[in-house]
Structure 1
Amino acid sequence: MAAEAERPRILYGDAGPEPPYPLRMEGTVISGFGRGSKELGIPTANLPVDEAAAPWIATAKSGVYFGYASLALPDTHPDHAQHHRRHRGNPRAPASAPPAPLPPSSNDTAAESPSSEPEPPSRWQIYPMVMSIGYNPFYKNSVRSAEVHVLHKFAADFYDAPMRLLILGFVREERDYPSLDALVVDINVDCEVARQSLARPAWTPRQGVVDGPGGEFDGSWLVREE
């Protein structure tokens, strides 16, 4: 426990990501080992490790990384509907913001100008995330995997949803653990490191995140439309 308590909660300087970051990765969320929610209480989304699409991953150090994930959730997903209701009047509204008011009636001449129409929210939603790349020595995996824990509580699974990752920094190397409890403790520290490291203006995308306002970092790739 002492080692976890001594780990710094903020990594890198306040000026923003440094080379070789940011690194990009994208794909469709696939089913993984089924351990995240059941054994760890920490649900993960898995992406295929595709060296052709992300050449950097072939030489990437196995371990834990942090950054942002964007998801294009289907219209039927409850988080998609909630996001669009919340952002109807302000596409960058934080999660704590109340729903936008109903549009004015046709008799309200004060809102007739076309310039007052808000731009529609992107179908891509940005979330902070922490991820592991490697073999997970505790479970002795034989296949290298990329497991993403999005720092948001979702109302439903999102298998087959398109996901983009913008990886901004490295947290720690992968390691083995004497017990499941020790693994969970370390993962929770990883999550806190990601939250605090990203909660700075130069580390927050201008496009905003679902659980907070926008910042100074250019995250346009995360929400660009094809």
Structure 2
Amino acid sequence: MASFPYFSQGTVVKGFGRGSKELGIPTANLPEEVVNQLPSHIDTGVYYGWASVNNGPVYKMVMSIGWNPYYKNTVKSMEAHLIHVFDDDFYGSNLKVCILGYLRPERGFSSLEELKTAIFNDIENGKTKLDEESNQKYKDHEFFLS
């Protein structure tokens, strides 16, 4: 299993167009070259951490890293869901992420509703983890200030 924190950043790119539209859970996708730089010890699955857009406020986030078995993706992705309501999308913006921990492995689901339920559980579990004192300090990490 990976050692954390893991810091990464990149320009938000268009993903598969499912997060907001099909799931009601908008995600910011990092480009393939950022995904390809992930250390081999970061397994596919769902993670929690902090994120900011264009050096703005730092928000809680959960992130899917992998192939999204429900959708049978052929390209590995890093999709961050920032736990904040934004007025607009932010394609082309710089997204900084600090991954702090692992929530669960990725897996297939038998229905869209089952997938949505799992994602909402991931969000709640991520929020709880990020409220822990040991994770709070990363919200103000110098990575987000530079």
With normalisation by structure 2, the TM-score equals 0.92
- Structure-to-structure mapping, 1:70-89, within 5 angstroms: 70-72=52-54
3-state SS of 1:154 partner: coil
Matching of residues 23-172 of structure 1 within 5 Å: 23-50=6-33, 54-56=37-39, 58-72=40-54, 123-172=55-104
Task: Specify the SS of the correspondent of 2:9.
Answer: strand
Unaligned stretches of 5+ in structure 1?
Answer: 1-18, 73-122, 209-217
How many residues of Structure 1 are paired with residues of Structure 2 in the alignment?
145
- Residues 25, 54 of structure 1: 8 Å contact kept: no
- In structure 1, the residue matched to 2:131 is 199
Q: Which runs of 4+ in 1 moved over 6 A?
A: none
Instruction: Give the structure with higher Rg (CA).
Output: 1
Pair 53,138 (structure 1): closer, same or farther in 2 beyond 3 Å? closer
C-alpha separation between the residues in 2 aligned to 1:149 and 1:55? 18
Greater fraction strand: 2
Structure 1 counterpart of 2:135, which letter?
W
Identity %: 43
Over 3 Å counting, the alpha-carbon distance change for 1:182 and 1:195 in structure 2 is same
1:189 aligns with 121
Please give the TM-score of this superposition, normalised by the length of structure 1. Answer: 0.60
How far apart are 1:60 and its partner, in Å?
A: 1.9
Shift of 1:125: 1.8
SS at match of 1:50: helix
> Equivalent of 2:142, from 213, 216, 220?
220
